[in-house]
């Protein structure tokens, strides 16, 4: 089941290369849409990508999103999204913390994410196992 969809706007990139890896730190903001939450990715998001010469590449992004949950209440969500990039595919394991009572279930849900590019714009989609029941209440019933 789709939990959040994040549309990334890249603001800049800093790089360093060593003999064994290349590292990029990508700053970004953007927006978030979904059935549970809508809002804006606040400035200051950073995705650190490490490209190793002899193993799969890794990413680790951290960012805050501010908006409104599905009950209409204002809230913030912190996302730490760690992943592995291999053969053109990126799979992540997001960790979420929020001050929203209605979205608290995301803090303990088994989440995974994918990275795609749509019309040149990175899009992160975060999912939870469709068979999982984390006390999501009305929005989560019938999953």
Domain assignment present for residue 137? The answer is: no
- Residue 110 has what pLDDT? 96
Rounded distance, CA 126 to CA 129, Å?
10
Q: Is the pTM of this model over 0.95?
A: no
What digits encode the pLDDT tens for the residues 28-87? 999 999 999 999 999 999 999 999 988 999 999 999 999 999 999 999 999 999 999 888
Domain assignment present for residue 140? The answer is: no
Domain assignment present for residue 133? The answer is: no
Domain assignment present for residue 41? The answer is: yes
User: CB-based contacts of 90: which residues, under 8 Å, 6+ apart?
Assistant: 59, 83, 84, 114, 115
CATH of the domain at 71: 2.40.160.20
Other C-beta atoms closer than 10 Å to the C-beta of 3 total 23
- Residue 138 has what pLDDT? 42
Residue 84 lies in domain:
2-128
Domain assignment present for residue 142? The answer is: no
What's the number of domains the chain is made of?
Answer: 1
Domain assignment present for residue 94? The answer is: yes
- Residue 132 has what pLDDT? 53
């Amino acid at each position: 089941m789709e939990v959040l969809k994040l549309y990334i706007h890249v603001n800049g990139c800093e790089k360093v290369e060593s003999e064994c890896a290349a590292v990029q730190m990508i700053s970004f903001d953007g927006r978030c849409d979904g059935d549970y939450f809508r809002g804006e990715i606040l400035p200051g998001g950073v995705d650190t990508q490490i490209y190793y010469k002899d193993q799969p590449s890794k990413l680790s992004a951290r960012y805050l999103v501010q908006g409104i949950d599905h009950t209409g209440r204002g809230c913030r969500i912190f996302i730490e999204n760690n992943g592995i990039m291999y053969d053109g595919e990126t799979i992540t394991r997001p960790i979420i913390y929020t001050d929203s009572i209605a979205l608290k279930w995301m803090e303990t849900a088994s989440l995974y994410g994918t990275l795609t590019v749509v019309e040149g714009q990175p899009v992160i989609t975060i999912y939870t196992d469709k068979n999982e029941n984390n006390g999501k209440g009305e929005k989560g019933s019938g999953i």
